[in-house]
Structure 1
Amino acid sequence: MELLTTNNVWMMICTALVFFMHLGFAFLEIGLTRQKNTINILFKNIFIITIGLLLYCIVGFNLMYPGFAEGSSGIFGFSGFGLSAPLTEAGALDLTYNSGYTYWTDFLFQGMFAATAATIVSGAVAERMKILPFLIFTIFYVGLVYPIAGSWKWGGGFLQQLETPFYDFAGSTLVHSVGGWAAVVAVCLLGARIGKFKNGKIQAIPGHNIPLATAGVLILWLGWFGFNGGSVLSADPGLTSLTLVTTCLAAAAGGVVASLVSTILYKNLDLTMFLNGILGGLVGITAGADQMSPTDAIIIGAIAGTIIVFAVSLIDKLKLDDPVGAIAVHLVCGIWGTLAVGLFGNLAGVDQFISQLIGVGSYAVFCITTSFIIIFTLKKTMGIRVSEKEELEGLDAHEHGMDAYPDFRLNEH
């Protein structure tokens, strides 16, 4: 009982840290975008976490952990609506549910993860997507797509049933790439912001509050202690501490290397590239944080930091407008981190690498297809892009009738 209590307390702390990440996402997104769209971004982020928890309670948890029957395909299962905690014959909560935490803690920890996928999309579509279609997309993506995808690995589905099981410790693919693929589809269907590409040339649209974006990244890094540390699913001292060490080293390496590479290429010390390098390192280590040595973690983070610089440039060249770098960070580094499990650490090997490729491909097909169906349907029925006037004047005024800084206005175009 004492061990269960210790494990459960640690898992609840990690749950709180993952919840705190939503503040980090909000700060990062508003910091890297323009002042006139601040309320819009904050509204979306608040909606995502609130509706995400409700949907995960109603359908998501039991879609993600359906208890696949033996011999099933492991693709889709559903164990019923709502939450139903296991009880003893005396009617008390059954504490044999898991050695690491109770049923309620399990739900809440996993529920915090669920909302993150849509938050990734929120940043990528910032400043030009109508809010109602985005909210509808969130309901379907968080309520149905994410938990079904999650069941394939974490719920014991077909990727877990491979001869060499696909491995994703804390979600480089299951969380980050799931959001990243949808972000690509959304950005393609939306088009770029007005003024981003002029006469075939890329125009920088600076964010209005880089200090806030920096605070957001540091909050996200702190939250990753819960994101990865909690994915141990217990307070095991050896595994938990190793996981936190590899997480931090990858983040540090990602930031330093992204800063160096961007400075060499562009001859300026770009803080935003430094920040995205940190996030890239965090996303990259997430799939195998419990399997890596400190040296492995530094290498994985360093490669993620390098990838970030070139991915951001490639995305611009492809005329994809991603105001916060979400696609480069969450999708590209998510893929890298997932594949890295087959190249580094305790699981490295050809069979594991092939399983990782199967996992990456499976999620790509599913997430691209489902997100396209949802967003394309919304585009054809109600429209997903605000008018030119609304975009130029700001979504805060037109969609919310509010100003984030009513006593302090900047000249914005």
Structure 2
Amino acid sequence: MITLRSLLAPAGAALAVALAAAPAHAEVSAETAFTFNTFSFLIHGAMVFFMAVGFAMLEAGLVRGKNVASICLKNTALYATASIAFYLVGYNLMYVDVSGWIGSFALLYNPSGAETALLGADEATPEMVSEVVGNGYSVMSDWFFQVVFVATAASVVSGTVAERMKVWPFIAFVFVLGAVIYPIQGSWTWGGGWLTEMGFSDFAGSTIVHSVGGWAALAGAIMVGARKGKYGADGRVNPLPGSNLSLATLGMFILWFGWFGFNGGSQLALGSALDATAMSIVYANTFLAACAGIVTAMAMTQILYKKIDLTMVLNGALAGLVAITANPTLENLFLAMVVGAIGAILAVLAVPMLDKLKIDDVVGAISVHLVAGIWGTLAVGIFGGGDIVAQVIGIVAVGAFTLAVSFVLWGILKATVGLRVSDEEEMDGMDKHELGLEAYPEFGTSSQAGR
């Protein structure tokens, strides 16, 4: 009987012989490496972009029903706003002609002259192809991969200040975050600036992306104040349950999936066996850190509250992911679990600490992205062979810059257009007053319900 396996067997044997006869260090061509590197940027960038869905669903599930449409709008608008700002000026500030502290103030970032010449040529010459391929990857593939990171930092802020901050001041802040705040501090490391020269290391952005979002969110939460009814006069913390925990759970899993693009793509190349091997380790560490965060958060909440808290477990997974982001290249995968577990412990402990300070963080983003981000960056110096002094300096420098500029910007917005909706609007819900609609009208209490 002739089977597909019997037909393919001779071809498989011939391939095995050919591979055995190949040079031990055979390399792909420069154009092939260019293609794989570009593909890696594009596909991993698309995966990071999909995290926007995760943030939107997580936050929609953790806010109250009367604010679901508003938080969905903010997550949609912030991605567009931050991305436009990064295109207009942010990328140049972060990566072009970085002098140590800041890059170029040139406007716009477009394909290179070599690429446009290749695209416009009637017949491409070997010299034209060689000039493009020599860059190692398509210029705009790198821009695309970088722009989804700045939008992720902005996404951290929206959940923290949800349910009481006006839409337009929030969007104005996001624009400045994408155009100036994120790029300037990013140039210090990923742009080859002074922190890189000092030895600071942050593989995929525990500090550069997540802690920056966390510092901005912390300043925003302090400036806008807590939601009405969150804290009692006697110091009591009143729970304000979210609208849909199944939606929040879906959001966490989407974020987890997108994180493989976040960390895996930060290998920045896929044109060699070395890069493919390193990327595989990054994927595995990213996965295990989240797993450790989940189990740790379950145990922590059982011990502390005598019940397992689902919202804490979701944030435990994210804290594990944030923590490992600074160094997902660990060759001992057990250490990745340790990093993720400690990140979850710190996030679980940070939530009640912030409540004691009356800092109202609706979704726990400060605990997850700032606290676990700081830990993950420190862990590079503990487990990853980095310089612990340089790590501390980097954390402090980025934190001080982001927090100071954020306070100034939030303060300007508060003094001019105001940050907070009125008491009536907050009571009724932002959906009704700022959007004129409800996310769940059939379950609402408005005059339209039941008609």
TM tier, smaller: over 0.9
Change (3 A) 1:131 1:246: same
**Corresponding residue SS for 1:343:** helix
Q: Separation in 1 of the partners of 2:332 and 2:115? A: 45
Change (3 A) 1:193 1:96: same
- Partner of residue 45, structure 1: 75
**Corresponding residue SS for 2:104:** coil
Q: Separation in 2 of the partners of 1:89 and 1:32? A: 45
Q: Separation in 1 of the partners of 2:53 and 2:116? A: 41
* Matching residue within 118, 126, 132 for 1:95: 132
**Corresponding residue SS for 1:287:** coil
Q: Separation in 2 of the partners of 1:147 and 1:90? A: 26
* Matching residue within 249, 258, 263 for 1:223: 258
- 1:161-204 Cα offsets, whole Å, 9 max, x none, are 11xx1000000000000010011111111111011111210011
Question: Contact 1:86–1:97 at 8 Å: present in 2 too?
Answer: no
Task: Determine whether 1:81 maps to 2:107.
Answer: yes
Once the 2 structures are TM-superposed, how far is the Cα of residue 91 of structure 1 from its aligned partner?
Answer: 1.4
Q: 5 Å matches for 1:168-317? A: 168-198=202-232, 199-235=234-270, 236-317=275-356
- Partner of residue 65, structure 1: 95
Q: Which letter maps to 2:204? A: A
Once the 2 structures are TM-superposed, how far is the Cα of residue 264 of structure 1 from its aligned partner?
Answer: 0.6
**Corresponding residue SS for 2:383:** coil
Once the 2 structures are TM-superposed, how far is the Cα of residue 95 of structure 1 from its aligned partner?
Answer: 2.3
Q: Separation in 1 of the partners of 2:263 and 2:361? A: 26
Once the 2 structures are TM-superposed, how far is the Cα of residue 21 of structure 1 from its aligned partner?
Answer: 0.1
Change (3 A) 1:81 1:89: closer
Change (3 A) 1:369 1:30: same
Q: Separation in 2 of the partners of 1:156 and 1:78? A: 13
Q: Which letter maps to 1:130? A: K
- Partner of residue 416, structure 2: 381
Q: Which letter maps to 1:23? A: V
Q: Which letter maps to 1:265? A: L
**Corresponding residue SS for 1:324:** coil
Task: Determine whether 1:360 maps to 2:377.
Answer: no
Q: Which letter maps to 1:188? A: I
Q: Which letter maps to 2:438? A: D
Once the 2 structures are TM-superposed, how far is the Cα of residue 394 of structure 1 from its aligned partner?
Answer: 0.2
Q: Separation in 2 of the partners of 1:270 and 1:15? A: 32
* Matching residue within 424, 431, 444 for 1:396: 431
TM-score, with length taken from structure 2:
0.86
Once the 2 structures are TM-superposed, how far is the Cα of residue 206 of structure 1 from its aligned partner?
Answer: 0.5
Larger radius of gyration: 2
Once the 2 structures are TM-superposed, how far is the Cα of residue 97 of structure 1 from its aligned partner?
Answer: 5.3
Show structure 1 runs of 5+ residues with no match: none
Once the 2 structures are TM-superposed, how far is the Cα of residue 88 of structure 1 from its aligned partner?
Answer: 3.1
Task: Determine whether 1:123 maps to 2:153.
Answer: no
Question: Contact 1:247–1:282 at 8 Å: present in 2 too?
Answer: yes
Once the 2 structures are TM-superposed, how far is the Cα of residue 337 of structure 1 from its aligned partner?
Answer: 0.2
Q: Which letter maps to 1:379? A: K
Once the 2 structures are TM-superposed, how far is the Cα of residue 401 of structure 1 from its aligned partner?
Answer: 0.5
Once the 2 structures are TM-superposed, how far is the Cα of residue 123 of structure 1 from its aligned partner?
Answer: 0.4
- Partner of residue 150, structure 2: 114
Question: Contact 2:285–2:330 at 8 Å: present in 1 too?
Answer: no
Q: Separation in 2 of the partners of 1:151 and 1:9? A: 24
**Corresponding residue SS for 2:118:** coil
- 1:267-297 Cα offsets, whole Å, 9 max, x none, are 0111111100000000000000124520110
Q: Which letter maps to 2:58? A: L
**Corresponding residue SS for 1:161:** helix
Q: Which letter maps to 2:135? A: N
Once the 2 structures are TM-superposed, how far is the Cα of residue 86 of structure 1 from its aligned partner?
Answer: 2.4
* Matching residue within 358, 370, 380 for 2:405: 370
Q: Separation in 2 of the partners of 1:187 and 1:400? A: 22
Question: Contact 1:97–1:103 at 8 Å: present in 2 too?
Answer: no
Show structure 2 runs of 5+ residues with no match: 1-30, 120-130, 447-451
- Partner of residue 9, structure 1: 39
Change (3 A) 1:410 1:265: farther
Count of aligned positions: 400
Once the 2 structures are TM-superposed, how far is the Cα of residue 143 of structure 1 from its aligned partner?
Answer: 1.3
Once the 2 structures are TM-superposed, how far is the Cα of residue 98 of structure 1 from its aligned partner?
Answer: 3.3
- Partner of residue 143, structure 1: 179
Measured on the aligned residues, the alpha-carbon RMSD in Å equals: 1.5
**Corresponding residue SS for 1:160:** helix
Higher share in helix: 2
Q: Separation in 1 of the partners of 2:443 and 2:309? A: 26
